[in-house]
Amino acid sequence: MTEPTLTVRFFARLREELGTESLTLPASEHQTVADLLTHLASRGGAWAQLTGGQPVMVAINQSMAKPSSPVQPGDEVAFFPPVTGG
């Protein structure tokens, strides 16, 4: 049986600074968005900014979410800077 996973995506300045567009992670280790951020920030370097005070927005399955939002196997979780369109 394959392990359930999450897809994590990054956009704009975060995508560039992390040098990563998307990641696939085991789902079981992360209960909430905050757990996922802590895990990613522990990679160090540019990743530390994910918990370092700069505002990071999050969407789960393309809907805005919060640090306390639960993450489920199969979810697409996206992290990005505050939006600047228009």
Partner 1 sequence: MISIQTDDFDAGAEYEALRGTGPGTGAIVTFSGLVRDSGDLSGVTGLFLEHYPGMTEQVIQGLIDEAGRRWDVQRARVIHRVGQLALADQIVFVGVCSAHRGDAFAACEFIMDALKTSAPFWKKEITREGEHWVEQKESDVARSRNWE
Q: Is residue 80 involved in binding partner 1 (CB under 8 A)? A: yes
Gap between the Cα atoms of 27 and 39, Å rounded: 12
Residue of 7, 11, 32, 38 that binds partner 1 (CB under 8 A): 11
CA of 65: how far to CAs of 70, 78, 80, in Å? Answer: 9, 10, 12
Contact 48, 41 (CB under 8 A): yes
By rule CB under 8 A, what string of x and - marks binding of each residue 27-66 to partner 1? ----------------------------x---x--xxx--
Smaller CB separation from partner 1, 11 or 20: 11
Gap between the Cα atoms of 63 and 46, Å rounded: 25
Binding site for partner 1 (CB under 8 A): 9, 11-13, 15-16, 55, 59, 62-64, 78, 80-86
